[in-house]
Amino acid sequence: MAYDCASIVRQFTVPGAFRSAAPYGTGHINDTYCVECVAAGRLVRYILQRVNHRIFAAPDRLMQNIVRVTGHVRAKLATASPANIERGTLTVVPARDGKAYHRDEAGNWWRVYVFIEGARTYDVVQNRSQAFAAARAFGAFQAMLSDFPAATLHETIPAFHHTPSRLARLKEAIGADAHNRAAGAGAEIAFVLAREEMTTRLTTLAGRGELCVRVTHNDTKINNVMIDDATGDGVCVIDLDTVMPGLSLYDFGDCVRTTTALAAEDERDLARVGMSLDLFAALADGYLSSARALLSPLEADLLPFSGMLITLEIGIRFLTDYLEGDVYFKTHRPGQNLDRARTQFAMVASMERQMAQMEMIVARLR
Ligand code: ADP
Ligand code: GN1
Ligand code: MG
């Protein structure tokens, strides 16, 4: 679908003249554009996004969360790290009517962020220092929000990381088999069903009050943190659509899923897929360097397990979407969601084989 980005950008308080807009990034959910404007003879870039309102039922509430959370982070940076205030958090550019979004005539929801220059995201981690930097940034994000009242945030997607519900939905999709795809995914379905007992572990502990609910990001994959081109530091945590009350372990877990991966999320050659212990050690070190003080002993115990659990959960979601006809995650070729599910399950198997070493690494660092 082609949108008239120039006229959408004009709805926002963007100074200067619109010059161009081009699709940007590799996110699976929103439509993202890099916009160039010229103001006072200078080229200035912005991120323009169409929020996926099929997935996010109330984008106005979602934007309210983002404005509040980025305001909180900005205030923290002002005292702890003033040099980082411009690039250390997303900056929402308001619409001309003062709202944090613009709704077009067709009912689409648009927003504009200041473009964070001199940094980029990576889909696959390049080295140990990136793993450290990414995890340190996510830990710091959690720490900066540790005094934010979690219950006042809207739940932008209900039960987002409730793994047992994700499994129940998969079972429904298998039962319905609306696209006759279940037979071709027999091995993947069996892999999940053999691990059913894992799926309830964190939700049971949370239900008993043994794990506390915090403000969490809930989508801490490696390409949701900008890495500084010059210093290699994790400069800004982005993609804040799912910031809401949650368990810190799911955030650490999703760092493990994506930041220790030796191959792309949709790699077809499973011989290349696996979890790198070396990257896990760097990531655990980075996360603990900023989040150690937050964690309870039980949370620290469960860090290695959380990586395996969320990788299983995201695999379940990719597999469900494949069976339901590829309606949730963006796909660029047939079978891509099944390939993504397969890589997740190969990652789970790799973590199962290396769990004892992962536990030793965390025991040494905590
Ligand atoms: P999605 O929800 O679809 O994943 P994201 O918000 O993660 O969308 O944005 C997609 C990509 O756009 C990111 O991975 C990143 O590369 C880029 N991006 C997003 N926000 C910014 C920003 N403020 N500055 C620079 N690049 C950004
Ligand atoms: C989606 O938006 P993006 O691409 O950063 C998804 C995450 C998944 C991830 C898998 C709102 O993240 O939950 O873990 O894909 N986001 C949403 O790559 O569902
Ligand atoms: Mg993203």
- Write out pLDDT tens, residues 165-181: 999 999 999 999 999 99
Assign 83 a pLDDT band (cuts: 50, 70, 90). confident
Q: What are phi and psi of 214, to 5 degrees?
A: -125, 175
Which of 28, 51, 238 for mutating ligand 1's site (highest number of atoms within 8 Å of CB)? 238
In whole angstroms, give the CA distance from residue 102 to residue 51: 10
Domains: count for the chain: 2
Compute the distance from residue 223 Cα to the ligand 3 centre, in Å. Answer: 6
User: Which tokens is 260 given?
Assistant: 């220790």
Minimum-distance ligand to the CA of 258?
2
Judgement on whether residues 113 and 187 belong to the same structural domain of the protein: no
Contact 150, 245 (CB under 8 A): yes
Compute the distance from residue 28 Cα to the ligand 2 centre, in Å. Answer: 6
Judgement on whether residues 27 and 176 belong to the same structural domain of the protein: no
The torsion region of residue 352 among left (phi > 0), alpha (psi -120 to 50) and beta comes to alpha
CATH code of the domain covering residue 187: 3.90.1200.10
Neighbours of 311 (CB within 10 A): 27
In whole angstroms, give the CA distance from residue 212 to residue 348: 25
Minimum-distance ligand to the CA of 157?
2
Judgement on whether residues 97 and 192 belong to the same structural domain of the protein: no
Give the pTM: 0.97
Give me the domain span that covers residue 206: 128-365
| DSSP reduced 3-state for 34 | strand
Compute the distance from residue 17 Cα to the ligand 2 centre, in Å. Answer: 33
Assign 90 a pLDDT band (cuts: 50, 70, 90). very high
pLDDT of amino acid 84: 86
Q: What are phi and psi of 323, to 5 degrees?
A: -70, -30
Judgement on whether residues 173 and 301 belong to the same structural domain of the protein: yes
Q: Is 27 in the pocket of ligand 2 (CB under 6 A)?
A: yes
Compute the distance from residue 183 Cα to the ligand 3 centre, in Å. Answer: 31
pLDDT at 235 over 80: yes
In whole angstroms, give the CA distance from residue 288 to residue 225: 17
Judgement on whether residues 107 and 175 belong to the same structural domain of the protein: no
User: Which tokens is 16 given?
Assistant: 């200067």
pLDDT digits (tens, 9 = 90+) for 187-216: 999 999 999 999 999 999 999 999 999 999
Ligand 2 atom with least separation from CA of 265: 18
Q: Is residue 21 part of a domain?
A: yes
pLDDT of amino acid 81: 87
In whole angstroms, give the CA distance from residue 86 to residue 77: 9
Assign 297 a pLDDT band (cuts: 50, 70, 90). very high
In whole angstroms, give the CA distance from residue 291 to residue 148: 15
Mean pLDDT, range 277-294, rounded to an integer: 98
Distance of CA 24 to CAs 48, 108, 133, 277, Å?
Answer: 9, 18, 23, 32
Q: Is 314 in the pocket of ligand 2 (CB under 6 A)?
A: yes
pLDDT at 1 over 80: no
pLDDT of amino acid 200: 98
Compute the distance from residue 210 Cα to the ligand 1 centre, in Å. Answer: 34
Which of 24, 26, 28 for mutating ligand 2's site (highest number of atoms within 8 Å of CB)? 28
pLDDT digits (tens, 9 = 90+) for 105-158: 999 999 999 999 999 999 999 999 999 999 999 999 999 999 999 999 999 999
DSSP conformation class of 261 = B
Judgement on whether residues 107 and 139 belong to the same structural domain of the protein: no
CATH code of the domain covering residue 45: 3.30.200.20
Which residues lie closer than 8 Å to 93 by C-beta, 6 or more apart?
Answer: 12, 13, 14, 46, 111, 112, 113, 114
Judgement on whether residues 187 and 235 belong to the same structural domain of the protein: yes
Average pLDDT, the chain: 97
Strand positions, DSSP E, 40-182? 42-51, 92-93, 102-103, 109-114, 119-120
